[in-house]
Structure 1
Amino acid sequence: MPRKGYPPEFRRKVLDLVEAGRPVREVARDLGISDQTIYTWRKQDLIDKGQLPGVTTTEQAELLAVRKRIRELETELSVTKRAIELVREVVPPKGGSKRSR
């Protein structure tokens, strides 16, 4: 998952420098970021390109959106259930009355 602190364009330029043959340690030092950050970006890039197995950036974004929607729906469901409970406390059930003709 991309870190929010670095824009995708910056990550792409860093990866381009590494792919062009510059050592990761040198690029990291020059740009003031950690080596591990670049290695993480490079691994994710390989996953996105289909060269390594794993969850792509697009799939990660979709999963986050789905999980967020599930949380929203679960909240709506719990609110609805609570509302039903409150209504049942106030409004007596209609049981016992005969059907009208």
Structure 2
Amino acid sequence: MAEARRKFDREFREGAVRIVRETGKPIAQVARELGINSGTLANWVATDRRARGSDGHLSADERAELARLRRENAELAMERDVLKRSVALWVKDAMGR
């Protein structure tokens, strides 16, 4: 009779992948330590590498965050410029009195 498939929650999968990524241990060793199939862990690691863009390119999440940060940076620069002008006008007005 076939064995029932074990389900792993997202946090467990992410933790297992993080162990492989951060420690540099072989997938087989980490899988043994966690009591899971090495092929399963290898699939999780491969999925993570594709999502992270292991070829040096940004992942979709990183591109979205970069676009958001660029918009925020431009907005902050405009606000800073407005405040600089306001202070300059205030100082000019105060010196004129």
Q: Do Structure 1 and Structure 2 share a fold, with TM-score over 0.5?
A: no
State the structure with bigger RCO (CA 8 A, min sep 6), 1 or 2: 1
TM-score if structure 1 supplies the norm length?
A: 0.43
Structure with the largest fraction of helix: 2
